[in-house]
Amino acid sequence: MNREEWNERLIEDEMEIVRRSPEQLVPFLESRAREAEEKGYSDELYRIISTLILLMLKEGHLDKALEWRKKQEEIKALVSPDTIGDTGSNEICFARFYVRQGLIREAEQEIRQSLRIVPIGSQECPEVLLVLSEAFYAEGDLRKSLFLWLKYIQLTEFYLFAIENELIRRHPFPNITVSYPYGIKSIFSLDDEEMKEKVAAGCLHLCRLLLDSSGRYLSIIASDTDFLSSVSQWLSERGELENVDVINRCISLYRHSFEYYKRLLGMGDEGILAGNGATE
């Protein structure tokens, strides 16, 4: 089996495991990581490790995630710049983990590192602002949190502009996940009309990006439909019917994409990310 065939088999097997027995994904990837190292497939090993780090942090295994991070740094010199660029850095993943654990100081260190290495126009740049928004919310600074979330939306729009105008390399799959963090949802629930208006404006901005042709480069989270429905209801009460239509069309897109991916992966309703463009 040559290298191209090995990669194709990796993707096929990974998709099958995600579909049938996702609990086996970590052991499978650990096995493939060892195999990639034995074969000297440094680029493939680098990508696999990035996925393992994400999964370890999701499961709360910080020590294992740090071990894989160390391994990834050890092989980085052997990896092509394109693979490093496509895979991205792990600082954002660690920062998000630390924020959710209430370890704000540790999160800030990861964010500072991200700000030094993440280029403007990359898919990671909006993610840095998103995590920074979450960090400020965790510290109780709601206005800075909201400010940064709105800037995250603007950088997401710039990323789409850069792709559409071929300023950066196109990717075969969506790279930015449209996100309404817990803090933003909480801010919208407050009795502060000014902040509600800003959150609603941000939601409308994101929905218009998704409904545009460039929206195929974005991913969405199915469970966000509940929050968008509450925004739609609030806009309806204010008589903003054109804006209500935008939000409702976006909700329909979410549901259509969700059903498509649920059929494709044979998965349940939890944790599904759907790519806008994949429904076409």
Interval 157-209: pLDDT, tens: 998 888 888 877 766 555 678 889 999 999 999 999 999 999 999 999 999 99
221: which strand partners?
273
What pLDDT does 262 receive?
65
Full-prediction pTM beyond 0.95? no
Q: Is 177 helix (H, G, I), strand (E, B) or coil?
A: strand
What pLDDT does 42 receive?
94
Q: What is the CA radius of gyration of the chain?
A: 20
Identify the H or E element spanning 112.
Answer: helix 104-117
**For the chain, how long is the longest CA-to-CA vector?**
63
What does the block give as tokens for 223? 């469970």
Terminal Cα distance for the chain, rounded: 34
What pLDDT does 273 receive?
46
Q: 128 with 92: CB under 8 angstroms?
A: yes
CA distances from 66 to 6, 49, 132, 232 (A): 27, 11, 21, 42
Quick one: what percent of the chain has pLDDT higher than 70? 90
274: which strand partners?
220
DSSP 269: S
261: which strand partners?
none
Q: How confident is the model at residue 271 (pLDDT cuts 50, 70, 90)?
A: very low
Phi, psi (degrees; rounded to nearest 5) at 218: -115, 150
What pLDDT does 256 receive?
82
Q: How many residues does the chain have?
A: 280
190 exposure class (CB count in 10 Å sphere: 0-12, 13-18, 19+): exposed
What pLDDT does 279 receive?
34
CA distances from 266 to 9, 11, 22, 51, 216 (A): 20, 17, 11, 21, 22
| Average pLDDT of the residues in 44-64 | 93
